[in-house]
């Protein structure tokens, strides 16, 4: 699928090798690693850099949802799949779970629930009905990671504080 998608905020597939049941994909090198690398255990990213990362990731998702033909639901947006170059330009990576999105008058794709715990939209987990909104939820979790500097799931914290979304809900008044 990635070989058909071309956008400045998607990692480029340089080549591949197929030998029997073995597959190897070669992607462009992203020298600054992943967003997850920078959120965990390193000096905090400047706010301007965090905003740039969020905007670049949003542009990549916009391409997948609105400009790719047919549309693509990424299904695994998370900080470890947001790769960064030396200037902190974003490239979304790892399209192994991506699905062709709903086409025509369909609103969703029914599928076995896949993705990463902490990033999956609750309605997708409940129903197996995948929409572009599922990716938007995951993007929201990444935004919370950028704002708080916390992991989506942090098992070193107390039970009720392990899930970032649940923790944020408890500290933001809903009125």
Give the pLDDT score at 112: 65
Residues taking part in catalysis: 76
Of 82, 86, 61, the C-alpha closest to 136 is: 61
Q: Which domains, ranges and CATH numbers included, belong to the chain?
A: 2-171 (1.10.510.10)
Burial of 75 (0-12, 13-18, 19+ CB in 10 A): buried
Query: For the chain, what's the residue count?
Result: 175
Give the pLDDT score at 106: 64
Return averaged pLDDT per consecutive 10 residues of the chain, 175 residues in all.
82 92 92 93 89 98 94 93 98 88 62 78 83 93 95 87 89 77
What's the pTM? 0.89
With contact defined as beta carbons under 8 Å apart, do 151 and 40 qualify?
yes
Give the pLDDT score at 97: 82
Give the pLDDT score at 85: 97
Q: Is 172 left (phi over 0), alpha (psi -120 to 50) or beta?
A: beta
Give the pLDDT score at 126: 84
Of 48, 24, 53, the C-alpha closest to 36 is: 53
Of 153, 126, 127, 156, the C-alpha closest to 141 is: 153
Of 27, 132, 129, the C-alpha closest to 74 is: 132
Give the pLDDT score at 108: 56
| Residue in this structure with the two tokens 């929409």, named with its chain if needed | 131
């Amino acid at each position: 699928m990635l070989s058909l998608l071309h956008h400045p905020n998607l990692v480029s597939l340089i080549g591949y090798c197929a030998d029997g049941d073995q597959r190897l994909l070669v992607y462009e090198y992203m020298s600054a690693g992943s967003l997850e690398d920078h959120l965990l255990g390193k000096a905090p990213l400047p706010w301007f850099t965090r905003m740039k990362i969020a905007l670049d990731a949003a542009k990549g998702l916009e391409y997948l949802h609105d400009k790719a033909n047919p549309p693509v639901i990424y299904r695994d947006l998370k900080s470890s799949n947001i790769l960064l170059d030396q200037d902190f330009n974003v490239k979304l990576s790892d399209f192994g779970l991506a699905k062709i999105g709903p086409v025509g008058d369909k609103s969703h794709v029914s599928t076995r629930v896949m993705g990463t715990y902490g990033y999956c939209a609750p309605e997708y987990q409940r129903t197996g009905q995948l929409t572009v909104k599922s990716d938007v939820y995951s993007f929201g979790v990444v935004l919370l990671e950028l704002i708080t500097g916390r992991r989506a799931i942090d098992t070193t914290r107390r039970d009720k504080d392990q899930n970032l979304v649940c923790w944020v809900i408890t500290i933001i008044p809903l009125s």
